[in-house]
Amino acid sequence: MMKVNELSAGISVSKGVFYNPKMQPLRSISVAFVKANARKGARLLDATSATGVRGIRYALEAGIKEPVLIDMNNDAYANSVGNVKANGVKADVREKSFQEFANTNDERFDIIDIDPFGSPAPLIYDAFKISKDGTLLMVTATDTAVLHGAHANACIKIYGSVPMHTELCKEAGARILLAFIARNAAQFNFGIEPLMCISDMHYLRLFMRVSHGASKALASVKELGILRQCGSCRYFEYEQGICAPDVKCAKCGSRMLIAGQMWLKGLSDRKQVEDTLKAVKKMDDPAAEKQMSMIAGELDIPFFYSVPKMTKAFSIGSVSHRKVMERLHGDGYRISETQFWKDSVKTDAGYDEVARAVRQ
Ligand SMILES: C[S@@+](CC[C@H](N)C(=O)[O-])C[C@H]1O[C@@H](n2cnc3c(N)ncnc32)[C@H](O)[C@@H]1O
Ligand SMILES: [Zn+2]
């Protein structure tokens, strides 16, 4: 039995039960997000509790009363029960699979946290059986090799979308998971609204609000579409719809790579990001604050330009992406770096302006 302290919680980790100390900042961001959003009496489900650390922190730091913690693993269940008791928290801990819980429980939750091993796909459909209008849904995926296109066939099989295996892979992966969630939600007449997106190391974490109504559901799935990127000059374009006509690059005539369907609208909500950042700053977790500040500084514009990929395509010497950003900023465009790829620029400038800035 290993003992760890994670902000408010003192946790014992039983043999064979999952606990990753490197995920502490992400847990802190989740706690801050819940704290910024939870109304009095909000009902929270920690659907994959392992040691129970999340559920316990939601109770101790975000004011959640009697969270429900479930895990289908017997050791994890026993570990959660022990930790809940040791931390003086009141919680409803159950040994159950999420699917069984969602199919046998009548209660609909205000907040649902899904953090399984690998792909969350097998849990998503059932999540909407216990969702209601306004439910906040947090989902982690660690099968990023699949979503990022290292295993294209697995992505097609599991998520029903073609991945993009270029510098746009991580952002495309986040949007593919959102498309998968939107399609599942729509079957229950729910629409989704992304509130925050975090992509780091081997994981992807999405925060969203679910809203009820046939028109909301339809509006969400109508946001889905395809992404094309030129494997040569890096030009990209995206369009709504299911059909993906094979067209040549408008800039250089090369063959375009095609990926999708994926979510093409916003990945975040400014107020949510700012409120969560504010809440993180009140915690004693510098790593979480650093990560959340980076997220808050990112423009919510689909996709970006990798400066090294462009200089390579133009056969010119290397250029600092900061210089390119300065130039675009000087020309009056909005610019930011991106969590999805290093040395890259998100901007509202078009391809031609970016290409000119890189060449200059
Ligand atoms: C990555 S760990 C969760 C870690 C925890 N959320 C944390 O932050 O430390 C995944 C846990 O989910 C449980 N799990 C996986 N699939 C599940 C399912 N379908 N229903 C319930 N629990 C599940 C596993 O037994 C494991 O304990
Ligand atoms: Zn091209």
DSSP per-residue string spanning 253-318:
-PBEEEEEEEE-S-S--HHHHHHHHHHHHTSS-HHHHHHHHHHHTS---S--EEHHHHHHHTT---
Q: Mean of the pLDDT values across residues 193-199? A: 98
> What residue's CA is closest to ligand 1, atom 12?
48
Q: What angle do CA 143, 303, 252 make, to 5 degrees?
A: 115
> What is the predicted pLDDT for the residue at 119?
98
Q: Mean of the pLDDT values across residues 246-253? A: 93
* pLDDT for 273 beyond 80: yes
Class of the CATH-defined domain 2-296: alpha beta
* pLDDT for 97 beyond 80: yes
What's the fold here for domain 305-359? Phenylalanyl-tRNA Synthetase; Chain B, domain 1 (3.30.56)
- CA 62–ligand 1 middle distance (angstroms): 21
pLDDT per position as a tens digit, 104-126? 999 999 999 999 999 999 999 99
If phi > 0 it is left, if psi is from -120 to 50 it is alpha, else beta; for residue 207 that is beta
* Banded pLDDT at 243 (limits 50, 70, 90): confident
pLDDT per position as a tens digit, 207-216? 999 999 999 9
* Banded pLDDT at 241 (limits 50, 70, 90): confident
> What residue's CA is closest to ligand 1, atom 16?
116
Which atom of ligand 1 has the smallest separation from the CA of 18? 2
Q: Which ligand is nearest to the CA of 237?
A: 2
> What residue's CA is closest to ligand 1, atom 8?
54
* pLDDT for 180 beyond 90: yes
Burial grade of 82 (CB within 10 A; 0-12, 13-18, 19 or more): middle
> What residue's CA is closest to ligand 1, atom 15?
116
> By 3-state DSSP, what share of the chain in percent is helix, strand and coil, each rounded to 5?
40, 25, 35
Tokens (6 digits) for 337: 């770096």
Q: Which ligand is nearest to the CA of 251?
A: 2
Q: Which ligand is nearest to the CA of 50?
A: 1
* pLDDT for 245 beyond 90: no
- CA 255–ligand 2 middle distance (angstroms): 8
> What is the predicted pLDDT for the residue at 242?
78
Which atom of ligand 1 has the smallest separation from the CA of 76? 27
* Banded pLDDT at 161 (limits 50, 70, 90): very high
Q: Which ligand is nearest to the CA of 229?
A: 2
Pocket mutation for ligand 1, best pick of 11, 15, 18 (most atoms within 8 Å of C-beta):
18
> What residue's CA is closest to ligand 1, atom 22?
71
For the chain, give every domain's residue range. Answer: 2-296, 305-359
* pLDDT for 32 beyond 80: yes
Residue 112 φ then ψ, to 5°: -130, 125
- CA 49–ligand 1 middle distance (angstroms): 6
* pLDDT for 244 beyond 80: no
Which atom of ligand 1 has the smallest separation from the CA of 116? 10
> What is the predicted pLDDT for the residue at 76?
98
Which atom of ligand 1 has the smallest separation from the CA of 50? 27
Which atom of ligand 1 has the smallest separation from the CA of 54? 8
pLDDT per position as a tens digit, 294-352? 999 999 999 999 999 999 999 999 999 999 999 999 999 999 999 999 999 999 999 99
Beta-carbon count within 10 A of 191 CB: 24
Q: Which ligand is nearest to the CA of 116?
A: 1
* Banded pLDDT at 289 (limits 50, 70, 90): very high
Burial grade of 346 (CB within 10 A; 0-12, 13-18, 19 or more): buried
214: helix, strand or coil: helix
> What residue's CA is closest to ligand 1, atom 27?
50
* pLDDT for 278 beyond 80: yes
* pLDDT for 246 beyond 90: no
> What residue's CA is closest to ligand 1, atom 25?
73
Give the distance from CA 3 to its chain's centroid: 29
Q: What angle do CA 48, 52, 54 make, to 5 degrees?
A: 80
- CA 229–ligand 2 middle distance (angstroms): 8
Give the residues surrounding ligand 1 with Cβ less than 6 Å away: 18-19, 23, 27, 48, 50-51, 53-54, 70-73, 76, 97-99, 115-117, 123
Q: Are 131 and 188 in contact (CB under 8 A)?
A: yes
Q: Are 57 and 33 in contact (CB under 8 A)?
A: no
> What is the predicted pLDDT for the residue at 52?
98
